[in-house]
Amino acid sequence: MKQIDLILENPGKSSSSAHAVKLHGALMRLIDAKLSAKLHEQRLRPYSLFTVEKKSGLNFRLSALSEEGFPLIEACEKVNEFHLSGAQSAVRVLQRFVYEDIMIEDMYGPVPLGFSLKFSSPTTYKQKESFQNLFSLPPLLTSIADKIREFEGVDIPNDVLYAIDDFVSITDYELKSIAYHIKRNNVINGFHGHIKFSFADPESGLSVALMLLMRYACFSGIGAKTALGMGGILLDESTQS
């Protein structure tokens, strides 16, 4: 797996959500057209991305889960500016941070007593044909498990995902509903904020499985529409309760 952060000039006006969607389009134009078309047709994309607005500029994080997604990383390593749809001028790359490649084996580390999860970009999941704006752990874990099974061959059964939901404790949270604008007349319900979890038994198999999924989600994203800027997370394992 590969990951890169770009600090961009803040294009202004549009929300951070809209920036992510437009950056996805600009990125697709930088790679081979056949690969772009192939990626567009896939149900599970081998990459995720999201943006966060900061004082220093617009933070753009791109992660690739397999070799098929690596050309996107390579494009971001070379590009000096993005031409966003509807923008009057190009958006310059101010800084670039390329992280060390990571393997799935690197994610089987010690389990903390607890952890904090920040939903840095709006997050959603689909239930009964509708996108949801309320937090629910099982469908979010299912979205990660689907990708880790597809790209790493690691199978975490659904009954384990539901057992995790009963096993882990939520100790604090602050979540808010938010609308995510894909484009005009295409708005998706979601939520953002943070949530803290604790383990009664960090050495149990369920704790190990959950931490593997959470660490993988830092690359895969969580929930739906992760290729269009949703479900970007930050994981803090220093939380002790």
Residues 98-118: what's their mean pLDDT?
95
144-175 confidence digits (pLDDT tens): 999 999 999 999 999 999 999 989 999 999 99
pLDDT digits (tens, 9 = 90+) for 7-63: 998 777 654 447 899 999 999 999 999 999 999 999 999 999 999 988 878 999 999
Check residue 13 and give its pLDDT: 64
192 has pLDDT over 70: yes
Assign a CATH topology to domain 105-236: Alpha-Beta Plaits (3.30.70)
SS3 per residue for the chain:
CEEEEEEECCCCCCCHHHHHHHHHHHHHCCCCHHHHHHHHHCCCCCEEEEEEEECCEEEEEEEECCHHHHHHHHHHHHCCEECCCCCCCCEEEEEEEECCCCCHHHHCCCCCCEEEEEEEEEECCEECCEECCCCCHHHHHHHHHHHHHHHHCCCCCHHHHHHHHHHCEEEEEEEEEEEEEEECCEEEEEEEEEEEEECCCCCCHHHHHHHHHHHHHHHHCCCCCHHHCCCCEEEECCCCC
Residue range(s) occupied by CATH 3.30.70.1900 in the chain: 105-236
Average pLDDT estimate for 72-93: 90
pLDDT at 224 over 70: yes
Mean pLDDT of all residues belonging to the chain: 92
**pTM, entire model:** 0.94
CATH 3.30.70.1890 assigned to 2-98? yes
Residue span(s) of the chain under CATH 3.30.70.1890 come to 2-98
Q: In the predicted model, what is the mean pLDDT of residues 191-205? A: 93
pLDDT(241) > 70: no
Identify the pLDDT of residue 142. 97
Say if residue 239's pLDDT is above 70. Answer: no
Q: Which of 15-29, 40-54, 123-137, 185-199 has the lowest mean pLDDT?
A: 15-29
Confidence at 5, pLDDT banded by 50, 70, 90: very high
